[in-house]
Structure 1
């Protein structure tokens, strides 16, 4: 069991784990003030930003398009009005120049837009130099708004003014601008409403994902290591949700390993410390040299046992905390296996230790970590040394593209229900709790971690010799 339901947890340990969790999960998720107000605030912030950007882009595009089309529109208006202006000019030229103002007033009443005559010199400040050039060349000049047209009457100094074309005297033209304005307002209102609805349906799942992540982070920070973020509704936060859950599982595993190591080491420390305390008490009560030397040797053995316990525990903690990066290199497998067994053969005392590589292809090369793999193999051999009666047999073979190393002994064997359990840290069978075959239950756990680095595993089974068989397997590479 892990997390908050671990038995035997003290109040101080629980507070320590909660403090550690808060430091690990002090994430920078937004501190929204919960409820509808915060969701509305998020929505309106997004809406104003997006809609403002959309309107700005639309108006900019409209301005650019209008500017590009102005020349085309002016040419069209000039061609459209040229006939009318020519007729007005011909009618004026039939009259004496002195009657032109009166005639213009008469014609003005017959048109829906205004007509007038002004002096040429009065237009220098009204028209641009380009428009003035058009006017002097006899062409029709149009003002900047495209609403008033100017045409010079022959070679005279007088200019015919036509417009504004959208004159208030024409009710149809008078109502056109408000109608266009109403249509534009209606269009923009519908656009804003549709955009707001679409944005709401996009923001709402985002908000829910943020709330779920915030609540998960709060639960983890309070020490509830079983808390997990639900599946994200939006693809935007799906990777973050998966990452947080993976991080929570990793932290939960690390804390469980931390507690397991603490409990296991504290349990294992009791026996050598108690023996050392007993030896010290006996040492003060005896003057016999032989007895004192025996007690000193006992304490030295206990110190070596403590040193080995600490070293093995640190090795296991390193594998559990973060798997080291393996460094693979190719070795000639048969000779490597023989050399590794020979390196620890002396520890087997009078045991008959044999190595069988006859099932391997000649000159088989295998990729392995030359630092970690020997540790795994030697742990299996040391375990066999404790329980074997007379012989140990090491063999290797290739099966289904997997290379297998078997370590068989003729000892008491392992019950089927215990064969998987013994690879857990600080796990020992009841029959191995005496000092001669004791150990700390870490060697096999480390062996499996080493094989996992190689993409393989370590398993236990029954040996043809009647005892236990331990097998290392990983993918072969020739």
Structure 2
């Protein structure tokens, strides 16, 4: 109760902090798009590097075989003329090719060791970029250099960017556009779900516990929304229960406190020993009533707040019921308290939680003791895999339209008997909570003896190992 008041006070003064870093749709889209596109480009570049390194040898070999015929023809043309005319000859040939031709000395070249070895061995050597071919002119120290392609002489290069570069740019542009469309259709439902979750969380933070997250389009947010809604329902139920409990307890406290205050005033005004003893006894009764109210309220709040894990044991139901009756027999005074298990098979075993279920049975017996005139009958029977325990009294009974309401907390049908019968209207409410934890229920009806019949029903077996 105190915790509930503190929670309500905090909710009443709560002011949500401004939402920092709120993602708009465009920001979420661009961030995700850049992440995906950057990752894709990095992977593509790395893959291109690996593939290029792997096929470089194959490419160089193809270039060597492709250029060998042209280089042999150029070499034959040069050796038909004196070496003094080679510069003019190579200049004339250079104007006929789309790639550059020149003759240089061997010592001016800086080639990788492998290519230098091939060049010195009479083979064609390929430049580091793969666009220049080197050939030693027979046994001379001079080297024929073929390449790279000259854009000024090649019509394909005079129209702007190289063809392969233009194809690459067009390909990457199409990939970027297609990826942007895919990312948009993926991000929009996610953003919508995030926005809905944000609005729901903000409403819950402001204390509006009736707020619920709508259905999520993204399967990733579906469980989160269900969890959030379940949490909100649970908090709403807890707060409503605590409000109801606080209001009911406050009302219940007024009567014994008022009686105690009146008794104290009377005690100070009387000198008669018998009257003082009567007033003292009345105050003791009121203190006992307050203590019982607090204990019953705490028990009800515990069962209402949480569902403790059942620790089930298989018991002989006839023996177990006899033990429960003996535990309260002293309270029955002159009442005739009987147990009838003749409808049960001999040795019938039932799974029960020996911590909580005795509390439910004891509450039904105490209720019958309060209102019975002379007799209380306890019986049990098996119906469709369930055990039913009936507690019948010969009291005034419960009106038909009130038989469900008696299981609500702080409900008493005859308030004029509060002082004589005691109780706070929590016993039957606790009994129903206990039975709900067992997968059963508690109901009220008419007793064969004319009073009230209270019944506990729960499954015989709950598929657990006997503890």
- Alignment TM-score, normalising by the size of structure 2: 0.91
User: 1:118 and 2:111 equivalent?
Assistant: no
Separation in structure 2 between the aligned mates of residue 334 and residue 22 of structure 1, nearest angstrom: 56
1:351-380: CA deviations, max 9, x gaps?
222212223333333322211111010000
Which range moved further: 169-178 or 154-163? 169-178
Separation in structure 1 between the aligned mates of residue 139 and residue 63 of structure 2, nearest angstrom: 23
Going from structure 1 to structure 2, the CA distance change for 1:206 and 1:21 (only over 3 Å counts) comes to farther
1:17-36: CA deviations, max 9, x gaps?
2623777x97x9953558xx
Separation in structure 1 between the aligned mates of residue 451 and residue 217 of structure 2, nearest angstrom: 55
User: 1:156 and 2:147 equivalent?
Assistant: no
Q: Which residue does 1:104 correspond to in 2? A: 90
Separation in structure 1 between the aligned mates of residue 334 and residue 210 of structure 2, nearest angstrom: 52
User: 1:435 and 2:435 equivalent?
Assistant: no
Aligned residues: 459
Separation in structure 2 between the aligned mates of residue 157 and residue 133 of structure 1, nearest angstrom: 14
Separation in structure 1 between the aligned mates of residue 148 and residue 415 of structure 2, nearest angstrom: 111
Alignment of 1:23-42 (within 5 A): 31-32=20-21, 38-42=24-28
Structure 1 residue ranges without an equivalent (≥5): 1-12
Which range moved further: 411-420 or 424-433? 424-433
Alignment of 1:132-171 (within 5 A): 132-165=116-149, 167-171=151-155
- Alignment TM-score, normalising by the size of structure 1: 0.89
Separation in structure 2 between the aligned mates of residue 82 and residue 18 of structure 1, nearest angstrom: 92
| Local SS of the residue matching 2:352 | strand
Q: Which residue does 1:373 correspond to in 2? A: 357
Native 8 Å contact 1:22 1:222 kept in 2: no
Q: Which residue does 2:277 correspond to in 1? A: 293
Going from structure 1 to structure 2, the CA distance change for 1:133 and 1:167 (only over 3 Å counts) comes to farther
Which range moved further: 214-223 or 406-415? 214-223
| Local SS of the residue matching 2:445 | strand
CA drift of 1:336 comes to: 1.1
Q: Which residue does 2:218 correspond to in 1? A: 234
User: 1:356 and 2:340 equivalent?
Assistant: yes
Q: Which residue does 2:45 correspond to in 1? A: 59
Of 8, 28, 34, 1:17 maps to 8
| Local SS of the residue matching 1:223 | coil
| Local SS of the residue matching 1:344 | helix
Native 8 Å contact 2:289 2:422 kept in 1: no
Which range moved further: 168-177 or 76-85? 168-177
CA drift of 1:145 comes to: 0.9
Of 75, 80, 87, 2:66 maps to 80
Native 8 Å contact 1:414 1:468 kept in 2: yes
CA drift of 1:16 comes to: 6.4
Q: Which residue does 1:3 correspond to in 2? A: none
Separation in structure 1 between the aligned mates of residue 255 and residue 371 of structure 2, nearest angstrom: 22
Q: Which residue does 2:405 correspond to in 1? A: 421
Of 196, 207, 216, 2:180 maps to 196
CA drift of 1:106 comes to: 2.9
CA drift of 1:95 comes to: 3.5
Native 8 Å contact 1:114 1:167 kept in 2: no
Which range moved further: 276-285 or 308-317? 276-285
Native 8 Å contact 2:307 2:437 kept in 1: yes
Separation in structure 1 between the aligned mates of residue 51 and residue 451 of structure 2, nearest angstrom: 90
Of 311, 316, 322, 1:332 maps to 316
CA drift of 1:431 comes to: 5.7
Going from structure 1 to structure 2, the CA distance change for 1:32 and 1:416 (only over 3 Å counts) comes to farther
1:127-172: CA deviations, max 9, x gaps?
1111101111221111111100011122221111111135531112
Structure 2 residue ranges without an equivalent (≥5): none
Separation in structure 2 between the aligned mates of residue 305 and residue 250 of structure 1, nearest angstrom: 31
Going from structure 1 to structure 2, the CA distance change for 1:384 and 1:191 (only over 3 Å counts) comes to same
Native 8 Å contact 1:22 1:220 kept in 2: no
Separation in structure 1 between the aligned mates of residue 201 and residue 342 of structure 2, nearest angstrom: 57
Going from structure 1 to structure 2, the CA distance change for 1:108 and 1:166 (only over 3 Å counts) comes to closer
Separation in structure 1 between the aligned mates of residue 417 and residue 176 of structure 2, nearest angstrom: 77
User: 1:455 and 2:439 equivalent?
Assistant: yes
Native 8 Å contact 2:156 2:162 kept in 1: no
CA drift of 1:350 comes to: 1.9
